[in-house]
Amino acid sequence: MRELTQIAFPAFFRERTGDLGLYLGIYEGDRLVAMAGERLALTGLQEISGVCTHPDFSGRGHARRLTRALLSRHRQRGIRSFLHVSEGNVAARRLYESMGFVVRASLPMCKVERIAS
């Protein structure tokens, strides 16, 4: 999972992020080529997170299939789904909007790290 996310969106998927919820994957042989999962949970809400596809396998509908599977899981549990996407990630925004997601807010983001003292 970390190897795939380092290619798809480096620095946003930490070592233990996969422990925060269910993650689904699509494999080509032993190689993870696409994934999507759950992370933040609030009362009545569940975040869809870590949706990514290796560039060599993009355009095959993997992200859509994985996201649909999570949406179905959330509906069965009676909760609503939400997600976040970088403003510049036009392809992902187009995908999510085609699946019924709408922009609720645009928030500036920055990476903050603690430096060794």
**68-114, pLDDT tens digit by residue?**
999 999 999 999 999 988 888 898 999 999 999 999 888 887 778 88
Homologous superfamily of 2-98:
Gcn5-related N-acetyltransferase (GNAT) (3.40.630.30)
Cα–Cα distance for residue pair 2/51, rounded to 1 Å: 12
Report in angstroms the alpha-carbon separations of 39 from 44, 49, 80: 14, 6, 13
Residue 41 DSSP SS3: strand
Cα 99 to Cα 22: distance, rounded to the nearest angstrom: 20
- What is the pTM (predicted TM-score) of this model? 0.83
Contacts of 107 (CB under 8 A, 6+ apart): none
Q: Which structure tokens are listed for 66?
A: 């994985």
Residue 36 has pLDDT above 70, yes or no: yes
